[in-house]
Structure 1
Amino acid sequence: MPKEMGYARPVSTGAASVARQSSEDNWDLRWPQSIRTYTKMSREDSQVKSVLKAVIQPISRTPWRLAPNGADDEVTRIIAEDLNLVVQGEALDDPIIRTPRRASWNQHLRRALKWQLVYGHAFFELVFDDASATEDGLTHLRKIAPRHSDTISKINVASDGGLESIEQRSVGKLTSVTIPVDRLLAYRLDDDADDWVGESMLRAAYKHWRLKDQFLRLEATVLDRNGMGVPVSKSGFEPTDEDMQRLEDIVTGLRSGDYAGAVVKNDELLEIKGVSGQLVSPREAISYHDSQIARTALAHALNLDGKGGSYALAEVQMDLFFQSLNEIAGQMAETANQHLVRDMVFALTGDSSGPFPRIVFDTIEAKKSLSPQDMAALHNAYLLSDGPKTEAHIRRSYDLPAEDRPDLTGSPDPEEDT
């Protein structure tokens, strides 16, 4: 086969070269400076945190399973146990044999989701047990170890756009280390630049966050200055310098309180002046920028405030939002299937030809509750008995419990022996 002739991007020589090659025109948002900025946004702003939770919680709470996908049953069982996942077809409340290893798909998913959304990328190191040290003599996944974005000093990318390795900086007694791609599980969001930095979901919200922060400070100043009014003093006839200084001290030091007050001479005047004319409030601008922050995640429904016919659009908006959630979850599942499950199977069996199990998830959508009349209608239409796939879909869609399966083991009924 002929070799690849072109390139996706020039080969980087360090973090600084990555910043120079980036198409980002805001230096505060160029990696690695962007890590501090996005961390501040996600920690301090209530609307940003709300939007992140609106995206993370539905994806992390939807049921995730391991589908056999034609793989060997024993291999599927071991992979499911190592990831603490239920095998597709089993009830979610079935007990899972918890292994002594620390890998957990659900815990990993929540962290990977947050990092990917906030920073645009998320890196993890796959740590496997030595087969000679395990109880069954097999190589198991022991840990999906997080590699925090603020510890990474360099992302090495090949000319074809493929990830080669990441480098972590030395800190204290810890020396710098290079982790090759075959030990990494890497997620990235909207990486059109092929630099493996990705694009944060908060990128489009940055300017709204900055302006909103300024307006919040302005609002505090407006309330502080105009809530009580502005003290104004008028001096008496032919005031001395001492009189002017005394009056200045009075008006600048006057504060509201239970014992607030001031004493002036008979020919002097002290009054509290309110704002004349219309007082411009930044609250409307703050609300606008809040709504624009929610739009970056297609979370328009977070902006509904009951004005006019806003709620008439809620269903359409939420449908679009759920589609975006399913797309994010699908991308994460695809990455995990290619670079986590396959590596686990290869470490376990030494076979890289497949078929491999697949991590799958239930479609994210609004859960609907059923009334007794709805249940009766489903039962009378035989929809709850129209094949196991149809029944399973209906039970998942309406958050119904799994079907009680009869005991087919042939064990005698204890009441029959009496």
Structure 2
Amino acid sequence: MDISKFNQFVRDIYGTDKFIPLHEPRFLGNEKKYVLDTIESTFVSSVGAFVTDFEEKIQAFTGSKRAVATVNGTAALHVALLMAGVQREDIVITQALTFVATCNALSYIGAEPLFIDVSLKTLGLCPKAFDEYLEEHAFIDDLGVCRHKNSNKRISAVVPMHTFGHPVELDELLEVSEKWHLILVEDAAESLGSYYKNQHTGTLSLVSALSFNGNKVITTGGGGMVLCQEEALGAKTKHITTTAKIPHPYEFYHDENGFNYRMPNLNAALGCAQMENLTGFLEKKRHLARQYQEFFKDADTTFVVEPENCRSNYWLNAIICADKTHRDNVLEGTNKGQVMTRPIWTLMTKLPMYENALQDHLGNSKWLEERVVNIPSSVPLDA
């Protein structure tokens, strides 16, 4: 890979000689107007029309039965796991190649992660590795509960993450989950606008989580959304995330432990404006991905493309280098040239909080950790 040629290629795409970030937000429409509207209304906190409007827009866009806004994506995943029935001391299967928020949400509950390898096709949880681990280390007890052979702890759920917006093999993962009596919860934080076999990610499981952090396809500054595929579950999620308060004109009565995870109206106003440009953003990001794919077709790196039968939002574009030395050279040369690139996340099993967690061989995860580089993925302004 000719790094100077790549740097210039990226500069030509974005039309600048200045520093190029990895993924910056675009505010091209009514963002300022809607935020000012909230200020003038004085409803800037958790009560306001934009919150409901944003929930309804996401619900319609994804085809979800119910969408519940939260203060951030981690809060959304925390509540999604609770709604899926995950309890303290449960084991929850997930991938070691993920952002730390996936595991943080588990730790809030007091559940422990079990790390399974990812697929080279999707960069997300591998169905084959998932099933093989359970065949060797798990059993179904007389009550139909999946348990780990060594500890007898309940294995209650599995949380695949749609890495960089590329959908995982959901049909296969759902089949293995059903076989082992597990609830599947999609960590769809990165995949707004991604589709698995024409169905939006986050809607193939009972409950899932989206993120609207500042570096996502659209942003609310900070924010998340729980997608629920049952009306009753959606109502329960809304209740729990709004301090479990019983509606009343003036009295404060809360009927169970809840969370103050409400998205402020200010953030939701930003989100409503961003939704008006979402379709255009997605098309421009796909065009950018095609440009990168063409650039790398004869290079000594592999551009990561959407899996078969999927439509990815290409949230963060990625390349796979020949080895760790090659990766490090790319990272050094691009960042030195003021073109921001980043390695994929450090494996969760290398972090002090999770270094003793249950895990399989993680062969693909370790291989990818040494080779994957994310490259600039902001929506081009003139694509």
Query: Do they fold alike, i.e. is TM over 0.5?
Result: no
TM-score of the two chains, using structure 1 as the length reference: 0.26
**Larger relative contact order, structure 1 or 2 (CA cutoff 8 Å, min sep 6):** 2
In terms of fraction of residues, the more helix-rich structure is: 1
TM-score of the two chains, using structure 2 as the length reference: 0.28
